[in-house]
Amino acid sequence: MTKQISTIILAAGASTRMPGTIKQLLPWRKTTLLGNAIEQAKPVSSKVYVVLGANAKHISESMEITANVVHNPDWNTGMGSSIAFGMNEVMKSDEIPQAVLLMLADQPLIDSSYLTALKTKFFAGTNKIVATEYENGLGVPAIFHVSLFEELSRLDQKFGARKIIAKYKKDCISIPSMDKSIDIDTIDEYNYIIEKQDINNENI
């Protein structure tokens, strides 16, 4: 086992609140929301996994995904299922990492500098989890120690990563999201964040 982190990007959702749109393929900067998530994860990761579900074939054919793509056939049962599916892929690796980073494909403001801060805090201490701090609790992006891999691999449709974070709250530290954690669920939210970035003179 090496002092490396593998990343699982959860991108299996059907974008039900965006009729006629595949959220993962929405433009972001010079790529897509999914492409951006991969680009941000690579600097902190020994290996990047992308868990697809709905529209998996179309997404794979529409963009060059420079990561390990896996398809969760049970994606529609809940995010816990996709976490478990991705974790089982990580655990098949010849070289098991010391930790895994779980992140979403629809949080485009989460950048490599933020992920690096999570990673730095993880390796600087002995906590099993380093999570992102939200107003209503802790969540992903979050890094989980190898000792939690088995539990993560057994999550089902009823529970996601927050279940594990809550269970090990005493062994968890967090980093404020610093307004980077907004996730895109609707076209209005997507358009708003595009406009906001333009106002700040950031090139999308």
pLDDT in tens, 147-176: 999 999 999 767 788 889 999 999 999 999
Distance CA 189, CA 192 (A): 5
> Domains of the chain: which residue ranges?
2-199
Task: Give the model's pLDDT for residue 180.
Answer: 87
Residue 73 amino acid letter: P
Task: Give the model's pLDDT for residue 199.
Answer: 46
Residue 44 amino acid letter: V
Task: Give the model's pLDDT for residue 200.
Answer: 47
Give phi and psi for 12, each to the nearest 5.
Answer: -100, -5
Q: Quick: pLDDT tens for 56-78.
A: 999 999 888 889 999 999 998 88
| Residues in the chain where the model's pLDDT stays below 50 | 1, 199-201, 203-204
Three-state SS for the chain is CEEEEEEEEEECCCCCCCCCCCHHHCEECCEEHHHHHHHHHHHHCCEEEEEEECEHHHHHHHCCCCCEEEECCCHHHCHHHHHHHHHHHHHCCCCCEEEEEEEECCCCCCCHHHHHHHHHHHHHCCCCEEEEEECCEEEEEEEEEHHHHHHHCCCCCCCCHHHHHHHCHHHEEEEECCCCCCCCCCHHHHHHHHHHHHHCCCCC
Task: Give the model's pLDDT for residue 201.
Answer: 44
- In CATH, the number for domain 2-199 is 3.90.550.10
